[in-house]
Amino acid sequence: MNRFLLILFVLFFGISLFAESKQKSICISLEDCEKKADSTEIHRKKITFLTFGISEFASGAPIRDQIPLYLKRLKSTILEANGETGYKGEIILKVTHKPEYKITQLNKALDDVRFLESNQKSLSKEESYELEKLKVLLGDSI
């Protein structure tokens, strides 16, 4: 009986450890994360891909390469905080978040604005214009 339990224990935890070591990364580079974010309309998915790319791959990338990801994440974060889901179909799905969640998301958006403003000199004219539009949208959301 003890031997049987030991075998079950080893099998269960061995399989669990093996499964964890085999987990696949959601994207493999900054560019891959941006591509995957661009391929979906769902804001939470976009935010997930962009956040993963920024946290995992941005530290070694030039600021110029990071700016598009921050702008896209900023836009999706604001829209998602305002209840836009990005789901398209016969019905456009919109949700209402708890005030605490919305505030948390808008604070994340403010962090992205701060990053972009601190790197203003690296933004193109179009990106500067997009940032200004997003700042207005963010201001209207608060």
| 49 inside domain | yes
| 66 inside domain | yes
| 87 inside domain | yes
What domain count does the chain have? 1
- Average pLDDT score over residue span 85-99: 82
Reported as a single tens digit per residue, the pLDDT across 117-135 is: 999 999 999 999 999 999 9
Does residue 46 contact residue 86 with C-beta atoms inside 8 Å? yes
pTM (2 decimals)? Answer: 0.81
Reported as a single tens digit per residue, the pLDDT across 23-58 is: 578 999 999 999 999 999 999 999 999 999 999 999
| 14 inside domain | no
| 37 inside domain | yes
| 24 inside domain | no
- 99 vs 117, higher pLDDT: 117
| 81 inside domain | yes
Domain membership of residue 79 as a residue range: 29-141
Start-to-end CA distance of the chain, whole Å, equals 63
| 13 inside domain | no
Q: Return the pLDDT at 1.
A: 56
